[in-house]
Amino acid sequence: MRQRKRRAATPLSVLFAELALASWETMARRGLMMAQGRCSRAEYRRMLREKAQALCASGMALAFPRAGDPVAALLAPWHRRAAANARRLRRKRR
């Protein structure tokens, strides 16, 4: 069985910066969709579901700490979802 390669841990400052930028972009794109009346029911549901999932993942990281930076472990689920949303909404706009 092949083992997965682990990436080096992202520095906390980079994680914060990327999270801030991706969150800003996602809010701006979704705000524009809402203003234009193009925000679907599925998108509204996605907004709620992704936050619940990120909160659950952060809670698990808090309850069962691993080696490494605990703050980065708490922020990683939020970062992953914000970056994925920004990429998805960027593609959707084209």
Q: What residue ranges do the domains of the chain occupy? A: 37-94
The tens digit of pLDDT for each residue in 37-82 reads 999 999 999 999 999 999 999 999 999 988 888 899 999 999 999 9
Q: How many degrees, rounded to 5, is the angle at CA 28 between CA 87 and CA 17?
A: 65
Q: What is the pLDDT of residue 94?
A: 59
Give the pLDDT confidence score for residue 17 in this predicted structure.
96
The CA–CA distances, whole Å, from 18 to 3, 13, 90 equal 28, 9, 16
In angstroms, the CA 49 to CA 56 distance is 11
Please tell me which residue, 65 or 5, carries the higher pLDDT value.
Answer: 65
